[in-house]
Structure 1
């Protein structure tokens, strides 16, 4: 991938960019295999090397008349990265329109050193169908009326399925606050393997749609091979694994702490005519010990891993676990806490080319 920002030393986030991609993939696979031995490994799932990222998280800096959309330098000044080649084309094409919105709506960029200003971040997500969801992270509600005034023009310029404002008044390294105001739409339809997932403003989704689609296909293939009568998707988000693996006669459920994500999962299940029991709850507190425990459990936790849930899975009646991890270090730790659930096969999915990050899918079987 050619990147003028990298070559000019304006952004060095893609730390492995100078390493040929085939070598990146091979070294990533070797690193994961060292941490997770004794597995039968499928070939790694490669990504496109550019234009793969479906979400842009742009810090806004500079001035109202000359804003920067990109990242912040160590001194808090802005580094403009509007043409970042990692982003999907609809995101790159939208950046000049969003820069114009900052100027025309007089959205004063937040200045970190002085703790002054209003607009902190622009978050833009693209769907496979080319639609966009925009979130503006503001320090206060002061600018909302001006954004509303320009909303019609914005909708005319961009294929926006959702526009919302998030209020984050605190001066700390937290991307978003607790209050979200939807100005338009509110849902981005994310079609993955013909499964119509739905993203609300706060919903989590993998940043690489093509690789996420491969991840869901692989997990579903392993689940169908085992063919459990019951399965539970923990940390289910908007229902990606559960909706892919739902089958007639298979009792499927999903648990997620975010109510907004569960609402989205219900909507997708209804469209597909699937009977999946999605519910809001703490994945670590789900009943796994009674006779109603599922035969198979899918876990897709955050980077910290499943923690105390590992011991409960070890003591449960579940015969199989499919573990999707974005952190091989915590995955290895969690596997050690489940000695009766033996990892039998795995696959590396390169969600984040040009970095050392890896997504790993592992199938565990009780022995």
Structure 2
């Protein structure tokens, strides 16, 4: 992939830009294999572990969510990032974003001007509009979120909503997020939904998930669909009567693995994500699927012994599941674990704490082309 922003030194976020894509994927696979070497040896050696071919992504146009800093002025806004002097740098045509997002960002820049929204200046701590967050669904619909410092321009945003929807008809969910603090985060706790529609339907294969503004969703729709298909395929082979989906987000693994007679529980700290997952389960008529807002580790530690499932799916953030949950899984009666990780370093350390859960299958999925990040999904079986 070629990128003018990278070539000009404007943006260097994609650290692997210019490296042949096949080499990127191979390097990620080799690095993951090296990090999981001890887990493979503890599981019986290379012959005991099946490594499936790496899942590739489109090299460009794959990222379904853009988190763009708004800088400059209302008359000449920048949509992109900040430079070393905290000034706005425009990258509205970023090539890793999906086509729908690339088409939307110039429209949103024009809207900032026409609506008179005042970009926030980090250096002086003045202004109102901090970020524009845009997510595109597989069907081409958009969720657009304006992150504001205060309610000062909320009335202006409401009054011009019709103009925005006319200029950008693919925007089916529009919100204002309030972030009054001056700190390095992209959104605040309070969300004001401006449109009648509150969720963005994300249709992946046979499953439609509902995404609310503050819910996590995999950033690469194409690879996410293959991730869920791989995990649910492994689960179907094992035929567990019960399973947990810990760190479930909007329910991706749980909803894809749900089958008649299989009792599925999804656990997630975000109440908005749990609401989304529950809505998806109800619309799909899944009676044996339940979601609850709770900490994954706390849920496991306080579970009644008779409610511990046969299989557990974990999909933690980069820090991994940590020693407490890993130790609980090691000592539990759980027979199988599907561990999906965005950080093979913490994956390796977590597996080292669960020696009785043997690594049986592994696969690298290139969720983040042009960067060093990756997703790895593994199947562990006791004994």
Give yes or no for TM over 0.5: yes
Quote the residue 1:178 is aligned against.
189
Structure 2 regions of 5+ residues with no counterpart? 41-48
Partner secondary structure for residue 309 of structure 1: helix
Aligned partner of 1:325 among 332, 337, 341: 341
Quote the residue 1:282 is aligned against.
295
Q: Normalising by structure 2, what TM-score?
A: 0.94
Whole-angstrom distance in 1 between the partners of 2:28 and 2:278: 36
Alignment RMSD = 1.0
Quote the residue 1:334 is aligned against.
350
Higher mean C-alpha deviation, range 287-296 or range 23-32: 287-296
Quote the residue 2:310 is aligned against.
295
Q: Normalising by structure 1, what TM-score?
A: 0.98
Whole-angstrom distance in 1 between the partners of 2:96 and 2:2: 10
Deviation of 1:40 after TM superposition, in Å, equals 2.1
The structure 1 segments of at least 4 consecutive aligned residues displaced by more than 6 Å after TM superposition are: none
Whole-angstrom distance in 1 between the partners of 2:121 and 2:161: 25
Quote the residue 1:211 is aligned against.
223
Aligned partner of 1:163 among 171, 174, 195: 174
User: Can you list the C-alpha shifts for 1:268-325, whole angstroms capped at 9, x where unaligned?
Assistant: 1111111201111111111456022100000011111111211111111100000011
Deviation of 1:234 after TM superposition, in Å, equals 0.5
Whole-angstrom distance in 2 between the partners of 1:98 and 1:250: 45
Whole-angstrom distance in 2 between the partners of 1:337 and 1:155: 52
Q: Select the structure that is richer in helix.
A: 2
Aligned partner of 2:103 among 86, 93, 102: 93
Whole-angstrom distance in 2 between the partners of 1:31 and 1:190: 31
Quote the residue 1:360 is aligned against.
376
Aligned partner of 2:60 among 50, 54, 59: 50
Partner secondary structure for residue 30 of structure 1: helix
Question: Are the aligned partners of 2:2 and 2:18 in contact in 1 as well (CA < 8 Å)?
Answer: no
Whole-angstrom distance in 1 between the partners of 2:167 and 2:231: 39
Whole-angstrom distance in 2 between the partners of 1:25 and 1:93: 28
Structure 1 regions of 5+ residues with no counterpart? none
Partner secondary structure for residue 143 of structure 1: helix
Q: Are positions 1:193 and 2:205 aligned together?
A: yes
Quote the residue 2:330 is aligned against.
314
Higher mean C-alpha deviation, range 150-159 or range 225-234: 150-159
Partner secondary structure for residue 151 of structure 2: coil
Whole-angstrom distance in 2 between the partners of 1:315 and 1:155: 54
Query: Number of matched residues?
Result: 367
